Amino acid sequence: MRVVTVGTGMAAAEFVERLRLEGFDGEIAMVGDEDFPPYSPCVIPFYLAGEPLETVFWKGRDFYERYRVTPLLGDPVTEVDRERRLVRTRDGRSERYDRLFLAPGARNRFPEPQWTTVAGVFGFKTLSDMMAIGEYVSREKCSEAVVYGGGFIGVDAALALMKLGLSVTIVHRNTRLLSQMTDEEGGAFATRKLVEKTGMVVRLRTRVEGITAGAGRLTGVNLTDGTRLETTLLIVAVGVDPNSELLDGLESGIPCDDGMLADPDIFTAGDVARTRHAVDGAPGIYANAPNAVAQAYVAARQLVRGEGSYAGSLNSTVLRKHIDFPVISMGRFDGEALTWQRGDVWRRVYLRDGRINGYIIIGDTRMSGYLHQLYVSRQLAEREIRDLLSSPRHDGYYRRALGLAPA
């Protein structure tokens, strides 16, 4: 049997590794648009911030040899021909498959396509992006940057650039940074603390409506509030779009069943796959590394053994990079809100019918594992959660379990 993967990202690497560990002995080809061993996008901002390149290759540089893979790199797939069971690439190659693993992830969204032709404007998505940004920063001796978009990726980008020594302004259309992974108050707290701790400048409730360039290089950005920022470096982090159009022109992700099958011969996983939420069942793209890995694992077991079922995705978001100030959230931010705050730590749990419906933990990670477990297990939590939430020692759960007095 010949297996072909579209993509060499986190889902595809996990899938291939699992195939071999499950005893799959057939031929495997991986088709990728970049020319690297599999890498983790979660780690590439650290590389930009100065960590060694080796650290991004999360399954080893020798991945293709170790798992007996034929790598077909630097040549994107442009078409999946289901009838003939082949994929076609930009450079005219045709690759036949018996089973396809379709995991091309998502691509950086640019408000205007022509922005990408201006030197100094970058997405923040791939290892190629990080290399290009790093080279540009040192060549042009950049000392400042504008990051457009203050979500998870935008903040990650801003912190990485600040680690490199640049001063950064984030332009964000919302009322607060990290607006998707926080509620209004939590996001306002995180924004205030991030500004205090790093000195980043944050321009909220405004957008970049245009860029200016001279001799093909960026000179500045114009904002919708009528002001202008002079800059030679703009990182665009206003969202991503799934690369799902490869399958029948689908625009909003590839639907699949619980065995991660999108078609009898095509598995999918990762940031392109439409799955359902493990707790509330809502369909959607739940783009994070743990979901991608779990989905790939199920797909590989299905292919080799015909067994296994995906338990659903979690919308957990953990921003814990570059500085010691984590922001963690999960679930839905509605229901009865219980809040506790002291110093740099802010915690909120949303209860619905006595169970955790969502939570936001800022400035500290120690409760998040326990909240995660309470949320996923759907245990009744209303009786203990007030005490636990307000335990400044962060060990209320363990003290209770050991029969000790609350701290």
Ligand X SMILES: Cc1cc2nc3c(=O)[nH]c(=O)nc-3n(C[C@H](O)[C@H](O)[C@H](O)COP(=O)(O)OP(=O)(O)OC[C@H]3O[C@@H](n4cnc5c(N)ncnc54)[C@H](O)[C@@H]3O)c2cc1C
Residues that bind ligand X (CB under 6 A): 6-12, 31-34, 41-42, 44-45, 76-77, 103-105, 124-125, 153, 156, 243, 270-272, 287-290, 292
Q: CA nearest 343: which of 394, 399, 392, 274?
A: 392
**CB nearer ligand X, residue 221 or residue 273:** 273
Please state the closest distance from residue 328 (CB atom) to ligand X, in A: 11
**CB nearer ligand X, residue 30 or residue 388:** 30
**CB nearer ligand X, residue 48 or residue 146:** 48
Q: CA nearest 38: which of 343, 18, 80?
A: 18
Query: Cβ of 320: how many Cβ atoms within 10 Å?
Result: 12
Dihedral sign computed on CA atoms, order 204, 210, 215, 217:
positive
Cβ-closest position to ligand X: 9
**CB nearer ligand X, residue 105 or residue 358:** 105
Please state the closest distance from residue 93 (CB atom) to ligand X, in A: 11
Q: Residue 91 is encoded by which pair of tokens?
A: 């450079």
Please state the closest distance from residue 400 (CB atom) to ligand X, in A: 30
Tell me the longest C-alpha to C-alpha distance in the chain.
Answer: 71
Please state the closest distance from residue 7 (CB atom) to ligand X, in A: 3
Query: Cβ of 143: how many Cβ atoms within 10 Å?
Result: 11
Please state the closest distance from residue 134 (CB atom) to ligand X, in A: 14
**CB nearer ligand X, residue 286 or residue 397:** 286
Please state the closest distance from residue 128 (CB atom) to ligand X, in A: 8
**CB nearer ligand X, residue 293 or residue 385:** 293
Q: Residue 67 is encoded by which pair of tokens?
A: 């798992």
